[in-house]
Amino acid sequence: MTAAHLAVTHEQADTVIALAGPLTAPALAPVWSQTKDAARRAKGTLILDLVAAGPVDTSGATLLLSLEREHGERLTMRGLGEQAGALLARLRTAVPEGAPPKVAPRTVLRSDFRKTLLTRIGFFGESVIAAFALPANLRLLRGGDFFRLTERAGSQAVPLILMMGFLIGMILAFQSAIPMRQFGADIYVAALVSLSLFRELGPLLAAIILAGRTGSAFAAELGTMVVNEEVAAMTTMGIDIGTMLVIPRVVAAMLVMPILAAGVDIAGIVGMGFVLVILGYPPAAIIHQIQMATGPGGLLLGLFKAIVFGAAIGLIGCRAGLTAGGGPRAVGEAATSAVVGGIVATILLDGLFAVIFYRLGL
Amino acid sequence: MTGPGTEPPETESPAIVVEDAGQSFGARTIFENVAFTIARGEVFVILGGSGCGKSTLLKQMIGLLRPTKGRISVRGHDVVAETVAVRLDIGVMFQSGALFGSMTLLENVMLPLALFTDLPRRARAEIARIKLDLVGLAEAINLLPSEISGGMAKRAAIARALALDPPILFLDEPSAGLDPITGAGLDRLILDLRAALGCTFVVVTHELQSIFAIADRCVMLDRAAKGMIALGVPRDLQQTSTHPTVRAFFNREAQA
């Protein structure tokens, strides 16, 4: 490819800038700044000599036009081709006179904490109202949709849940057996692990997996619907978004969470048993320890917590999706917000439960 | 370095040659036996009812879809075998605009300049600004695509397609969704650019006013016929065509 080049000469008091070669976007790079500098330094009349110039495209014409704008009356062009002249004339009519607008630095959109909080509380309130208004809006519920959501949130997560539970049970048993053996208390490992799984880790792990798998999926799906104006279409049809989109998702999350938490519990107990049997404890002793330490009460308490976590994650996922802004980036941000919000809410609620259960003596 | 618009002028092959192109998805044939040649500097319009394969044909021409039959070449380069060479010669405006959402309009137009030229940033900004001025978006250059209207996005997309002054421009429904004044302005822009730069334009459109204003020739595809039913100068087709669909199309619009 040939590049454009320039030569600067002087005729009496005037400066002549001779441009040669194609004045097209790919060819202009070497001469752009030089030409502008030469023009700025020029004294007297500036003569642009284009006799040797090749084809001129809009980029080349931009250069000529900007020189023309900077030098006004003091600039003359010679050897401008007919085609280039036409292009230049077209650009002159298109470009507004005067200095081009300054490129303003983009202000970073800072999220207003108070406004965000109000949005979230408002969304929570709308969802509660939608739940109470449900009997009147039953026709908006679509069974197929609900079962699809439940399947994706629930049964598809089961293998992952079982594997995580089994590994966590094994790790906990193994890690706690070593220090407790020093005190001869390693038989109580079974009690320790089963208690922490039933009351804390089962619901918590299930919640984290639900937030990562399902909360983010809710946010991405609803966010895409917002971006595609599907949500706007529903609103104009008079369809209540809370009933049509939020409730099925929240209920699906609430329905699958106790099952997932129970999955973590059972797999965790199996993993723990596996380690303890290897360490030499008979299964009967392990089962006895578990029965001594915890019972159906502990398990049910954990499952109840799981339901609440599921509701929180479902709601937060839907909120993140439905308040997504425009553009493809918004969907990604909504999914992030759903996961982070879901996990934070789960842990806050868990702390709250710890206090309440302690007060209630559960 | 190679770039758009730098091809030596001695290879005066036609802008686009479509030979016997056909497309089917599984058992469903969209069209077959489509053949025409577009000369350099021509404004060529692709017409047809919805579902007839206009966009499919366009996708074949720009190398996004491999024709299941036949072959298409752009300035002598086969679209399938030499996609890279073809890409340097074409600019495409997609129907929805397809602007990059994370960049301002100015940055959108500057991107091709940054990729294919070594121009300094200030020069790129200056060139991009003129392109946006050309399509009437002088005031909007620092806005994000999410902050502008659909018509503005379309015009910005044309500016981006023009960034490197490619010899061939593909416009997918440029005036759909625009007001008549802006639409007419775009038609004028197309003719001006053709006059000034000698660009070839391939335009998919339904607007008959626009077709009569800009098209040197047009091809009409039809879903029922699974192929092309007319090829020629719009005025001639309007007056002489005997095909009922062609007549219906041109005469409905001519009365309006």
3-state secondary structure chain A: CCCCEEEEEEECCEEEEEEEEEECHHHCHHHHHHHHHHHHHCCCCEEEECCCEEEECHHHHHHHHHHHHHHHHHEEEECCCHHHHHHHHHHHHHCCCCCCCCCCCCCCCCCCHHHHHHHHHHHHHHHHHHHHCHHHHHHHCCHHHHHHHHHHHCHHHHHHHHHHHHHHHHHHHHHHHHHHHHCCCHHHHHHHHHHHHHHHHHHHHHHHHHHHHHHHHHHHHHHHHHHCCHHHHHHHCCCCHHHHHHHHHHHHHHHHHHHHHHHHHHHHHHHHHHHHHHCCCCHHHHHHHHHHHCCHHHHHHHHHHHHHHHHHHHHHHHHHHHCCCCCHHHHHHHHHHHHHHHHHHHHHHHHHHHHHHHHHCC
- Confidence band (pLDDT; 50, 70, 90) for A99? low
Chain A / chain B CB contacts < 8 angstroms? 120
Model confidence band, residue B3 (pLDDT cutoffs 50, 70, 90): very low
Window from A165-169, A336-340, B15-19 with minimum mean pLDDT:
B15-19
- Residue A334 token pair: 């909504």
Q: By the CB < 8 Å criterion, does B163 face chain A?
A: yes
pLDDT score for A111: 63
Full DSSP string of B51-103: TSSHHHHHHHHTTSS--SEEEEEETTEETTTTHHHHHHHEEEE-TT----TTS
Residue partners of A73: CB distance under 8 A and separation at least 6: none
Residue A102: name the closest of B129, B145, B101 by CA.
B129
Q: Is it the case that residue A50 has pLDDT exceeding 90?
A: no
Nearest to A6, CA basis, from A33, A45, A26? A33
Whole-number Å distance between alpha carbons of B228 and B23: 13
* Structure-model confidence comparison of residues A85 and B45, the more confident one: B45
**The pLDDT value given to residue B2:** 41
**pLDDT in the model for residue B197:** 74
Which pTM was predicted? Answer: 0.66
Residue A234 CB: number of other CB atoms within 10 A?
16
- CB contacts under 8 A, B 11-70 vs A, are none
d(CA B245, CA B256): 17
- Nearest chain B alpha carbon to A59: B127
Over residues A2-22, the pLDDT tens digits come to 788 888 887 777 888 888 888
Q: Which of B130, B196, B197 sits opposite A62 (nearest CB)?
A: B130
Would you state the pLDDT for residue A353? 95
ipTM at complex level: 0.70
Closest-CA distance of chain B to residue A4, Å: 12
Q: Which site among B192, B193, B194 would you substitute to test the A interface, given the most A Cβ atoms closer than 10 Å to its Cβ?
A: B192
- Nearest residue to B129 via CA among B114, B107, B157: B107
Mean pLDDT across chain B, nearest whole number? 82
A98 touching chain B per CB within 8 A: no
Among candidates A83, A95, A325 on the partner chain, residue whose Cβ is nearest the Cβ of B133? A95
Q: What pLDDT shows up at residue A187?
A: 83
Query: How far, in Å, are A121, A150, A315, A341 from residue A214 at the CA level?
Result: 22, 10, 11, 13
The confidence band for A98, taking pLDDT boundaries of 50, 70 and 90, is: low
Tens of pLDDT, residue by residue over A150-203, are 998 888 899 999 999 999 999 999 999 988 888 888 888 999 999 999 999 999
CB-CB under 8 Å, A86 with B195: yes
Taking contacts as CB-CB distances below 8 angstroms, the residues of chain A near B120 are 29, 32-33
- Distance, in Å, from the CA atom of B201 to the CA atom of B180, rounded to the nearest integer, reads 20
Question: Which of A56, A58, A95, A103 to substitute to test the interface with B, most B CBs within 10 Å?
Answer: A58
Give pLDDT, residue A255: 94
pLDDT higher for A203 or A296? A203
Q: Residue A143, Cβ neighbours under 10 Å: how many?
A: 8
**pLDDT confidence bin for A33, thresholds 50/70/90:** confident
Q: How far apart are CA A47 and CA A16, in angstroms?
A: 5
Per-residue pLDDT at A100: 56
Above 70 in pLDDT, residue A108?
A: no
d(C-alpha A27, C-alpha B3), whole Å: 9
Q: Give the per-residue pLDDT at B249.
A: 82
- Looking only at the bridges linking them, the beta strands covering B43-48 and A75-78 are unpaired
Smallest CA–CA separation between A62 and chain B, in Å?
6
| Closest to A252 in 3D by CA, of A144, A329, A337 | A144
Q: How far is CA B57 from CA A42, A339, B240, in A?
A: 53, 43, 26
Which pLDDT score is estimated for B1? Answer: 37
Which run of H or E residues covers position B141? none
Q: pLDDT tens digits for B204-226?
A: 988 888 888 888 998 888 888 88
- Closest-CA residue of chain A to B128: A59
